[in-house]
Structure 1
Amino acid sequence: MGAFIHSHALCESDNVGDGTRIWAFAHVLPGARIGEDCNVCDSVFIENDVVIGDRVTLKCGVQVWDGITLEDDVFVGPNVTFTNDPFPRSRQQPESFSRTVVQRGASIGGNATILPGITIGTEAMVGAGSVVTRDVPAYAIVVGNPARIKGYSNTVQMGGDLAVTSPVSSPQLREAESASGVKLVNLNKAIDMRGSLVAGDIESQIPFTPERFFVVYDVPSTELRGAHAHRQCEQFLVCLSGSVNAIVDDGVNRAEYVLDRPDLGLYMPSMTWGTQYRYSENAVLLVLASHLYDGSDYIREYGEFVELALNRARA
């Protein structure tokens, strides 16, 4: 089928995939590699050391500089600004440019600015006009200057009504639509004039014998914790004070819970990608772990986790 090159476009690259359309006043340098079925709109500039996957859309006024990779199905809105040198000087070129990667299915809104050396994760969304200063996790929705996480895309909000657009209060949560093996557990609670007490029974409520615990507190509300999985370790989360939003992901399904009372626990089996964010100012999160700390048990790259999870499901 070949590629369509508009008569007023300048495409110097021979590595342009079938079905790709390059429109008027776009300029593609010789070293660039562009996949199949892409749409390169008017006045786009693509430098040499650039790799663009299949089905990528580049709207008008985008410049893609050396060191940038756009994976399959990425959308880049009009006038998005990429950068590749953290300390640019006129006529002073660095030995190598910072590598920026926009992973599969991510979308970047118009007029956003992407600083150099950043990875924007799978299916993430960057709001229009945002200034992205650090890595964006997979499926995260970020907005503002500097960009901060405001939510997660393609994630079931665990409430009584699955059509809700934001997480709801934890008493209404259901476990049925969550990631595989994740359970929400109501712990034993006793309240009288002397105060309140919460207790959990090992095995019947907490499905493992803890070997370690840690407490997370004084977390700025704009920050996130976790963003990893464990090969063997299971975890049980209880928010003792305040509230925390917890994302669970089994490699296929993602769900978001609000932990906002101390008699509510969230069980995360091994091979669950977990992220906690939106900590309230007074949040105190207790985490019970089934294993002692082992650095080799952590999976910190989301792409590696998804591959391992799918391989385990096929086995």
Structure 2
Amino acid sequence: MTAFFHPNALVESPHIGDRTRVWAFAHILPGARIGSDCNICDGVFVENDVHVGDRVTVKIGVQLWDGITLEDDVFVGPNVTFTNDLHPRSRQYPTQFLTTVVRKGASIGGNATILPGITIGAGAMIGAGSVVTRDVPPGAVVVGNPAHIRGYVNTPSVVSDGGPVEPIDSAPDTTPPSRVKGVKFVRLTRAIDLRGSLVAGDVGGDVPFQPQRFFAVHDVPSAEVRGAHAHRECQQFLVCLSGSVHAIVDDGTNREEYVLDSPDRALYMPRMTWGTQYRYSPDAILLVLASLPYDNSDYIRDYDTFLAEVTG
């Protein structure tokens, strides 16, 4: 088994995996490492401190500069621009170039620009022409300039039906059970009269734990992502008191997106659930009840670590 090099390609590196194909006018410097079954298309330039995994596709007109890592099964579309220096000057070089990592299975659309020092999460999708200025969570779909999250791949969306507006709303909940282990979309009691509206929930019933802490998230710019972590032991109960917010829940096997847009709809997240909140409306106030006091060691902030722990 050997790699294929087009006669018009310049391949100086000995570190090219089996069945990898390098096409015309590509130039790969001696220090670069490229895995097996890759497709390096016409006009691609690869510097020395570059690591490319297996089954990676790099389309026409892409330059991979020092400090860039593409993990297995990554797709890089035509004319994607990577950068590795935030303050470039002619003939002035940093002591070390910033590291950019594209995690396993992510795809980058044509003509996108990736700023240096960024990690694009596993399975993420970068829209064509996007300018990515910050880390992208695993599985996120980002578009625009600057890029912002529009959704998540392979993530069904669950939207509250709101229920009938009655003086005492006790209608049965018709929301289907979550596919994410232990997660529940909870319908709280709602009372409405001329004096206003009231929403109530019972601790030990609606809230299946004794809260030890609470916090409220508000004034979040719509492009910002909150959460993006799991807890080893802590359980959480989310209620959007005003406005709306989209909440992603993930147990390592299944992922769903819930739209919290009414204070009588809440989301229960058991321990070892990866949670992400995004698309906050300008008036959103998200109340979170937690089963334990704050403990930094209870947080899992890296998705690969979460997957390893939840499956182990």
Normalising by structure 2, what TM-score?
Answer: 0.94
1:73 aligned partner: 73
Shift of 1:170: 6.2
2:3 aligned partner: 3
- Compared with structure 1, are the counterparts of its residues 94 and 173 closer, same or farther at alpha carbon in structure 2 (3 Å cutoff)? farther
Shift of 1:294: 0.7
- Compared with structure 1, are the counterparts of its residues 155 and 282 closer, same or farther at alpha carbon in structure 2 (3 Å cutoff)? same
1:49 aligned partner: 49
Residue 213 (structure 2) pairs with residue 238 (structure 1): no
1:218 aligned partner: 219
- Compared with structure 1, are the counterparts of its residues 91 and 101 closer, same or farther at alpha carbon in structure 2 (3 Å cutoff)? same
Equivalent residue runs for 1:39-188 within 5 Å: 39-158=39-158, 174-188=175-189
- The 8 Å contact of residues 229 and 275 in structure 2, kept in 1 or not, is answered as yes
2:192 aligned partner: 191
The amino acid of 2:118's aligned partner reads I
Shift of 1:93: 1.8
The amino acid of 2:277's aligned partner reads Q
- The 8 Å contact of residues 112 and 131 in structure 2, kept in 1 or not, is answered as yes
Shift of 1:206: 0.9
For structure 2, the residue ranges without an aligned partner over 5 or more in a row are 164-172
Percent identity between the aligned chains? Answer: 69
- The 8 Å contact of residues 178 and 253 in structure 1, kept in 2 or not, is answered as yes
The amino acid of 1:132's aligned partner reads V
- Compared with structure 1, are the counterparts of its residues 170 and 81 closer, same or farther at alpha carbon in structure 2 (3 Å cutoff)? farther
CA–CA distance in 1 between the matches of 2:253 and 2:65?
33
1:28 aligned partner: 28
- The 8 Å contact of residues 169 and 260 in structure 1, kept in 2 or not, is answered as no
Shift of 1:213: 0.7
Normalising by structure 1, what TM-score?
Answer: 0.93
CA–CA distance in 2 between the matches of 1:240 and 1:122?
32
The amino acid of 1:288's aligned partner reads L
Equivalent residue runs for 1:265-284 within 5 Å: 265-284=266-285
1:263 aligned partner: 264
CA–CA distance in 2 between the matches of 1:24 and 1:57?
15
Moved over 4 A (4+): 168-173
SS at match of 1:251: coil
- Compared with structure 1, are the counterparts of its residues 292 and 271 closer, same or farther at alpha carbon in structure 2 (3 Å cutoff)? same
Shift of 1:219: 1.1
SS at match of 2:111: coil
- Compared with structure 1, are the counterparts of its residues 170 and 51 closer, same or farther at alpha carbon in structure 2 (3 Å cutoff)? farther
- The 8 Å contact of residues 235 and 290 in structure 1, kept in 2 or not, is answered as yes
The amino acid of 1:260's aligned partner reads D
